[in-house]
A and B are shown apart, each in its own frame.
Chain A
Amino acid sequence: MSKPFAQALATIVIAGILVGSAAALQAVRETRYPSPPPGEDSLYITSGAAVRRMSAGYNALAADLYWIRTIQYYGSVKLRLKQVRELTAAEASRGLSDYQLLYPMLDLTTSLDPRFNIAYRFGSIFLAETYPGGAGRPDLAIALLEKGVRERPDKWEYMQDIGFVHYWWTHDYKAAADWFHRASEVPGAPWFLRSLAAVTLAEGGDRRSSRILWLSIRQSAEIEWLRNEADRRLKQLDAYDEIEALQKIVDDFIAREGKPVSDWQTLIRAGVLRGIPADPLREVPLEIDAGGRVRLSPRSPLFPLPDEPKRLITPGA
């Protein structure tokens, strides 16, 4: 072994030992004096114009950084809230406070890169979604999407999404129909938007329209995540169908036998059901309460089911 090589090797070994020792000391210190939990997330700059200046022209890169931060923020808040099984009234009423930085972050991202397509579509879903799954602020979702429409008047997807927020979250069917109609007039928009606009205006919401909307979002989703979310929503609609069908079976049985049903075994023993029904994902059994009401288990990944848009007219009326 040559002398220079031996010297270099010795230097590397010594440096390795020193760095390893420093890491070991750090581990000891963290064991004896635990680090404080991470503090509240904060956004020091909320002005898009200011961040544009500070990024010295590298706006797209700054937008990417804010986008990554938005994803991390949303994910961490949602994860934290998911750990809370039973929300107290106070927690439930907090609403936006747990996602209070979501809109400013999305606004900054889209100010820095006004064509950041997924930020608008991501924002519309998670700002509108009811707490704790989202911020419960459909008004902010619409504001974000309208910003997108101002930037890209050719994006029928944003208009469809605004209509969707009105349809699904604010239940303002006239506004929803207006936006579906507006989207349908954009070149390249799918054919069904025109009929969806007419049906929404005439009848309000129904499950068939909801299904068409989610299928449309699934088809136009640019990212896996949105597709998965649309799939989950479609499964929730399946769950509604399944629960309704089972409820009819239970109600018929109660009417026929004249005795209450509070478990599936009664129906299985009577030969009405062949087994315990499960949610559409076939992961968690459906529940039946003491009053004979069929419902989704809170353990199901599809729980909670969202409030369905209501019909303005009843069939046959």
Chain B
Amino acid sequence: MSAVAWIAVNAFRESVRDKVLYNLVVFAILLMGASYLIGQLTAGQDVKIIKDLGLAATSIFGLFIAIFIGIGLVSKEVERRSIYGLLAKPIHRYQLVLGKYAGLVLTLAVNLAVMTAALAVVLAVMSWLEDPVVRTGWEAPAVDPRMLKAVWLTFVELSIVTAIALFFSTFSTPMLSAAFTFGLFLAGRFSTDLRNFNQVVDSPAAAAIAQGLYWILPNLAPFDVRSQVVHAQPVPFGYLALTTAYAVIYIAALLVVSLLIFSRRDFK
């Protein structure tokens, strides 16, 4: 096993030891409880709302994992002084950073896979219990393979957030890293506003800066196709491919800068 894979597996094991997977239990209880309660409250929109809730919860739970585990990937090793032991081993610093990143992405993938499976089970049960006549009126079937597209883009988006958290983790404190990462996440969700900034300001310089930020900051809004899949709207594979490619390049950029900072960092 390569050093990166070895570190990744250990990072995954560490997250399991940190009880990160407990959130899956919370998620399952949330969905099962909501599926019963919502049926009483929504005038026939329960399947749509459970889909919305399940997909949003998948994203929110993943976001918390990405931020709060991501910010500790490197800084925790420094705080605990275990970084000295790690760096004394025959591994390069870049392998450490890449391995940590891959480990957290693996944790996220496992989480998302289990949450998606739980959501599918709840939806299948709801569909099974529903009157067939009512089912014919649904925009999309309860268990709809198109939902995987939304889950995939959520995973890719969270991979970017993890890379951002890791980036800040290489040079800042956990608290500040969390604040910066969450701030960038929000900015990324609303980056379209930056593109249209020239419509609300007169200053060409301010508009140019906003335009620049629009292209530099991560654009996370395109990763949200949850509403489209719930309403059975088409999400072309070309769109998925382009959005994923954007994420891969952006993650690569963040990791390169993180590696550079971490490789120059003095731990004496």
Q: Hey, which chain B residues are within 8 Å of A122, CB to CB?
A: 43
Are A57 and B189 closer than 8 Å at their CB atoms? Answer: yes
Contact status A59-B227, CB under 8 Å? yes
Q: Are B56 and A224 in contact (CB under 8 A)?
A: no
Q: How far is the CA of A60 from the CA of B50 in the complex (A)?
A: 11
Kindly state whether residue B31 has any CB partner on chain A within 8 Å: no
A58 to B56, Cβ gap below 8 A? yes
A8 contacts chain B at the CB level, 8 A cutoff = no
A221 to chain B: closest residue by CB: B137
* Bound CA span A118–B44, Å: 9
> What is the chain B residue whose CB lies nearest that of A119?
B45
- Residues in chain A near residue B56, CB distance under 8 A: 58, 60-61
Q: Is the CB of A117 within 8 A of B139?
A: yes
Could you tell me how many residues of chain B have their Cβ less than 8 Å away from some Cβ of chain A? Answer: 28
The smallest C-beta distance from A124 to any residue of chain B, in angstroms, reads 14
> Do residues A225 and B43 form an inter-chain contact, with CB atoms below 8 A?
yes
A68: chain B residues within 8 A (beta carbon): 38, 41-42, 49
- The complex places the Cα of A64 from the Cα of B48 at a distance, in Å, of 9
Contact between chains at B45 and A118 (CB < 8 Å):
yes
Quick one: closest A residue to B224, CB to CB? A57
Quote the shortest CB–CB distance from A129 to chain B (angstroms).
Answer: 16
Is A269 close to B, CB under 8 A?
Answer: no
Question: Does chain B have a CB within 8 A of A115?
Answer: yes
- Interface flag for B24 (CB, 8 Å): no
Contacts of A117 in B (CB 8 A): 139
Q: Mark A66-101, 1 if CB is under 8 A from B, else 0.
A: 011001100000000000000000000000000000
Q: Specify which chain A residues have a CB less than 8 angstroms from the CB of B226 in the assembled complex.
A: 60
Inside 8 A of B48's CB, which chain A residues have their CB? 64
> Looking at the complex, which one of B41, B42, B186, B230 makes contact with A60 (CB distance below 8 Å)?
B230
- 16 other A-B residue contacts (CB within 8 Å) besides A58-B59, A64-B49, A118-B43: A56-B189, A57-B189, A57-B224, A60-B230, A64-B45, A64-B52, A64-B53, A67-B42, A68-B38, A115-B231, A115-B233, A118-B44, A221-B137, A223-B44, A223-B45, A223-B137
22 of the cross-chain contacts (CB-CB < 8 Å) are A56-B186, A57-B189, A57-B190, A57-B220, A57-B221, A58-B59, A58-B60, A60-B56, A60-B227, A61-B53, A64-B45, A64-B49, A71-B43, A113-B227, A115-B233, A118-B43, A118-B44, A118-B45, A222-B138, A223-B43, A223-B134, A225-B44
Binding site for A on B (CB under 8 A): 38, 41-45, 48-49, 52-53, 56, 59-60, 134, 137-139, 186, 189-190, 220-221, 224, 226-227, 230-231, 233
Residues of A at under 8 Å CB distance from B?
53, 56-61, 63-64, 67-68, 71-72, 113, 115, 117-118, 122, 221-225
